Amino acid sequence: MNFEVVKDLMADFSKLSSAPDHHDVRQQHHSPLPPQSKSKRIVTQNVTSEFFAAASALNTGQLVKDEYFTLFEAVGALEIMDPKMDSGFLTSGESVEHDYDVLRELLPEEVLGIMDQMLCFEMTWHMGHPLSQSLFTSAYIDQLLWPDPKTLEQARFERDKTSGPGNKLLHLVLRAYCLGLVKTCDFVRRRIMSEHYYEEEDFVVSLYHRKLLDDFELSDISTKIEDAMAFVTKEIESMDRPFRDALLNRLQLRKTLLSAVQSDGFLDRQRARLWERCLELLPMLSQTNKLGVPIENSFGIKIQRKLASSVPPRPIVRISFDEALSRLSGICQNGRDAYRILDSQAGTRLMTFVLTYQSRIPQPSIYIRCLLQSLVFSEMRVLGTISLKQLLFDDFEELVLPADILVDPANGDIEAPQDPRFQISKRMDAFVTKAADCFLNISRNLCLNRSRLRRILCRDAVEWENLQFDAEGIDTELRKYTKEEPIRELSAPNEEIWSFPLSSWAYYYKLRQMEWIVQMGFELDIYQVDELAGMYWYLQHLASTRLQHIERIRTFSAHRLKRIANPTLKQKTSFRRSFSFLDFATLEASATQSFAEGLSCLFSFLAHLGLIPAPYHPLPYGTPALRYSLRVQPFLSVSLPEVPSYPEFASRVSLHTLERDAGDPSHQTASTKIETNDQAVAILDFADQALKAARKDWEAISKTKAETARCVGCEDWWRASVKNIVRACITANIMIATSKKAMSKAASQDAREILKVEVAKSNELYHAWWMVPRILPK
Amino acid sequence: MSKATLDAPAELRYVQYHSSKEKTYLSAIRQIISDDLSEPYSIYVYRYFLYQWGDLCFMALDEDESLIGVVISKLEPHRGGPMRGYIAMLAVREGYRGKGIATQLVRKTLDVMIERDADEIALETEVTNTAAMKLYERLGFLRSKRLHRYYLNGNSAFRFMLLIKEKSAAYEYEDEAQPQLPIRPPST
């Protein structure tokens, strides 16, 4: 029978289904007795007969739907009496309650087994599965947390008796472990909730109306764990040494983990040592797992029914102990490593740290990503010490305003409005207010899951566009207070060129993020093979735009330095630092540009010979131009650099012919013959030149000092990543050589008969941003 | 015309759904789709689509009139913007796959969407479902976004898009700060 009638009635029925006391009402809907609410203000009434009367007025298949009943509601709706959807459904003779005696006496091996099972479920929760499908399926955890304990003493297994059955291993040891575990979850959950994360895709915060011992102090729980450890240590008579050691190891881990995740004082570098201490405990945990005896029936899906939830029953998610251990080990290592960010100092180094840390594979788990966000910024301080204004002023100085009056902190002390410094300070503060969120968000966004990162970068491109526009206005206003003199070029002496420092700063970061959007597309396997030539062309276009922009910035800084008669040491240092940044940025942008150009030409060459599909070749639906339009959509809200039109793009990439546009679905034209295809040879030569240059640039980058490369704090990961790019670059050069050799050997053949091409997925590459194809002789 | 389409069994008929066919086919439709799913859709999900966009649902029937494949879609303005078609469910009975039946079903629904003035068409597939991805890519769809842990089993998805008309603004990314909950079928 389907109660497929009216949404509101349905909602009432689903409420019934979440209260296990009322099953019989649903199972025997002829029963006239309405469930009696305990609250006096709610009067319940049995609507079964009205419901059936209303339902009988409709034909089967007829839908009564108001505009608020969306697909979301439809997907979330439950069908009562369907065992896959109705959590209260019982087969005949089945009991409502999970049948497990939490007060039974436990053997040491059983306690070990249960602890290790709980660790697995804790890790599945970290992976993003709800508590209802992980830890909350434990009868022990259920007993501790429900009914909600008002004191820590009430959080025990025998809820209604002062003393009952069970032994000390249960009441002292397992309980202390559970308390530590639950409190750890409390801290973890609170950390995640205080930062940017995405419900369900990253993490599920729902507690189903339970609490995670949040009212109780860490110190009290730690004391319980210590008491348990003291007990185990003394049990020489009743327990063999290996069991005692194994139990102590787990209790110690619980205690250390709890301290490592606690909120108070999380900015203390010493936390790294706690994570290290946890790591040291893992080998023994791993070795002693085999001593434990898992108690499968101490976990049960039926416990889900006691949780306040409107979703259908969902399966318990299990992972192996080895997997749990490797996840935990990852969390501990990443927790330890996250604190290295405090060595990075702010500015461009901070961004390099976050980018490098988060690009490692596998990406750190959600808890760690949120911890890193908190380290980057919390309580209005960056890295615990730096104000937003300091952060931005420092960055302005490094990029565009070395030793400039605009970033002189003394401006803020001037109180006379007629003083230009007062006016400068007012405007700079206003800009900092506008720019702070955007700038900080770059580092925070880098902590999101990679799919979100790309989409948020797409969304934020327009924010940076607006910021750049606002900055132009402020730059223009500031000129009269800084008495800036424009540059005039000899070729156009009447044309005044102004420095626009703040908008130059914004434009620089906008370009950087636009490059990341394209590169994240490679990493996430967003582009199809036929799009790669075009997307690498677009990447090189962005990188070369950035190169020109860096040159412009350098021109103005050099111009300004020249006009300072006797620069002080402080001024010299500031200029040196800025030029060092610009030099490195030039190298890095140039390396990106040449590698991207080389790959674009290489894919273009492969398309010309019919070895891969031609870019945006005609297909049954849509048009090539529309597909291009969809692909560049993230950039359409950006006016500078302007997105090339489709015809311009197609001609630049030299990939598309008008005949193909006309609707010939086949991209396998006569040009696949090598000897008739001079254009392909020319493109291959371009690829060759660009990739040789790229290799030189990337090798130069790999030799750069950490301070220059702004990778202080993350040097080892950064070097590993650059090394992989160099490898990718070398591979690309080899592919060029293979292609040239094959072409010279078989000049009159069809290229498809002598070469084959494989394009790997991003996770099979040396570096996910550089999709070097494998070109093999047949 | 893709090669797969040419191989499609000749005896299949492609029939547009209509509410008059509910008694005959609804339970078969539910069955064929839930065969691929770990957790079932409620009847409301089917009704939601079939009641409002029955004409976008196509069925592949064999000579005995039994259901071999089905596609279920919708078409409505997306967040007050463009008219967006959405392919919600596509299933072909095991043993009949790889013969171009799914492609035919999708083309039928696309044709009706275009006739009804769709601006764009969207759908999601699991990142591991290469057969589905190939199908849509051969028709002209592009991957536009990746959706992290989109399905209940923790697998990620690609959003596929097909533009029918030129699009002006980049509204596509305006709601990126929102959770990706709403239109999420249970996973296979």
Residue B60's CB is within 10 A of a number of other CB atoms, namely: 26
CA distance A354 to chain B (A): 20
Is B180's CB within 8 Å of A84's CB?
A: no
What is the structure's pLDDT at A668?
Answer: 42
- Which of B176, B178, B183, B184 is most worth mutating to test chain A (most A CB atoms within 10 A of its CB)? B176
CA distance B136 to B87: 11
Amino acid at A246: A
CA distance A583 to A465: 25
Is B146's CB within 8 Å of A451's CB?
A: yes
Q: Which of A108, A107, A178 is nearest to A144 (CA)?
A: A178
* Interface membership of A129 toward B (CB under 8 Å): yes
What count of CB pairs under 8 Å joins A to B? 167
Residues of B in contact with A202 (CB under 8 A): 148-149
A574 Cα distance to chain centroid = 35
Is A451's CB within 8 Å of B156's CB?
A: yes
Is B182's CB within 8 Å of A528's CB?
A: no
Residues of A in contact with B185 (CB under 8 A): 75
Residues of A in contact with B154 (CB under 8 A): 127-129
CA distance A613 to chain B (A): 11
What is the structure's pLDDT at A470?
Answer: 97
Q: Give the number of residues written for chain A.
A: 778
Under 8 Å between Cβ of B93 and B66: no
- The SS3 call for residue A97 is coil
What is the structure's pLDDT at A314?
Answer: 84
* Interface membership of A452 toward B (CB under 8 Å): yes
Helices A366-376 and A175-193, packing angle to 10 deg: 60
CA distance A630 to A531: 12
Both tokens of A731, joined, read: 């591979």
Q: Which of A614, A654, A651 is nearest to A528 (CA)?
A: A614
Residues of B in contact with A631 (CB under 8 A): 142
- The SS3 call for residue A736 is helix
Per-residue pLDDT tens for A145-195? Answer: 999 999 999 999 988 766 667 799 999 999 999 999 999 999 999 999 999
- Which of B173, B175, B183 is most worth mutating to test chain A (most A CB atoms within 10 A of its CB)? B173
DSSP 8-state class, residue A174: I
* Partner residue opposite A72 with nearest CB, options B2, B138, B182: B182
* Interface membership of A319 toward B (CB under 8 Å): no
Residues of B in contact with A64 (CB under 8 A): none
Under 8 Å between Cβ of A520 and A454: yes
Under 8 Å between Cβ of A679 and A654: yes
Residue A297's CB is within 10 A of a number of other CB atoms, namely: 11
Of A160-164, A194-198, A371-375, least confident by mean pLDDT is A160-164
Better pLDDT: A677 or A69: A69
| H or E stretch at A9 | helix A7-18
The answer for B41, left when phi > 0, alpha when psi is -120 to 50, beta otherwise, is: beta
Amino acid at B148: H
Q: Which residues of A468-503 are buried (b: 16+ CB within 10 A; e: fewer)?
A: bebbbebbeebeebbebeeeeeeeeeeeeeebbbbb
Amino acid at A141: I
- Those of residues 59-98 in A touching chain B at CB distance below 8 A are 60-61, 63, 65, 69-75, 77-79, 82, 84-85
Partnered with residue B71 across adjacent β-strands are B58, B90
* Interface membership of B77 toward A (CB under 8 Å): no
* Partner residue opposite B146 with nearest CB, options A526, A631, A634: A526
Is B149's CB within 8 Å of A128's CB?
A: yes
CA distance A673 to A753: 10
Q: Which residues contact A136 (CB under 8 A, 6 or more apart)?
A: A142, A208, A210, A303, A304, A307
Which position has the token pair 């000899």? A490
| Residue A30 half-sphere exposure toward CB, CA atoms < 13 A | 0
Better pLDDT: A12 or A560: A560
CA distance A227 to A410: 57
| Residue A673 half-sphere exposure toward CB, CA atoms < 13 A | 5
Residues of A in contact with B174 (CB under 8 A): 459
Is B183's CB within 8 Å of A619's CB?
A: no
CA distance A750 to chain B (A): 23
Per-residue pLDDT tens for A709-731? Answer: 999 999 999 999 999 999 999 99
Is B110's CB within 8 Å of A621's CB?
A: yes
* Interface membership of A11 toward B (CB under 8 Å): no
* Interface membership of B80 toward A (CB under 8 Å): no
| H or E stretch at A558 | helix A532-563
Supply φ then ψ for residue A47, to 5 degrees.
-105, 10
- What is the rounded end-to-end Cα distance, in angstroms, of chain A? 63
Of A154-158, A603-607, A661-665, least confident by mean pLDDT is A661-665
Segment A242-266 shows an average pLDDT of 97
CA distance B16 to B60: 9
CA distance A615 to B185: 32
Under 8 Å between Cβ of A374 and A194: yes
Is A72's CB within 8 Å of B19's CB?
A: no
Examine the pLDDT at A32 and tell me if it is beyond 80.
no
| Residue A650 half-sphere exposure toward CB, CA atoms < 13 A | 19
The answer for A364, left when phi > 0, alpha when psi is -120 to 50, beta otherwise, is: beta
- The SS3 call for residue A709 is coil
What is the structure's pLDDT at B179?
Answer: 63
Helices A347-359 and A420-445, packing angle to 10 deg: 10
Residue A93's CB is within 10 A of a number of other CB atoms, namely: 5
* Interface membership of B6 toward A (CB under 8 Å): no
Mean pLDDT of chain A: 89
Amino acid at A323: E
* Partner residue opposite A634 with nearest CB, options B51, B110, B173: B173
Of A287-291, A307-311, A619-623, B174-178, least confident by mean pLDDT is B174-178
Is A61's CB within 8 Å of B19's CB?
A: yes
- pTM, two decimals, is 0.90
Give the 3-state secondary structure percentages of chain A, helix then strand then coil, rounded to 5.
60, 5, 35
Residues of B in contact with A2 (CB under 8 A): 43
* Interface membership of B162 toward A (CB under 8 Å): yes
- Those of residues 91-130 in B touching chain A at CB distance below 8 A are 107, 110, 114, 127
| Residue A352 half-sphere exposure toward CB, CA atoms < 13 A | 27
What is the structure's pLDDT at B169?
Answer: 56
Is A525's CB within 8 Å of B143's CB?
A: yes
Q: Which residues contact A744 (CB under 8 A, 6 or more apart)?
A: none
Under 8 Å between Cβ of A538 and A628: no
Is A622's CB within 8 Å of B163's CB?
A: yes
What is the structure's pLDDT at A715?
Answer: 95
CA distance A2 to A151: 45
Amino acid at A282: L
State the pLDDT confidence band at A681, using cuts at 50, 70 and 90: confident
Better pLDDT: A54 or B5: A54
What is the structure's pLDDT at A4?
Answer: 35
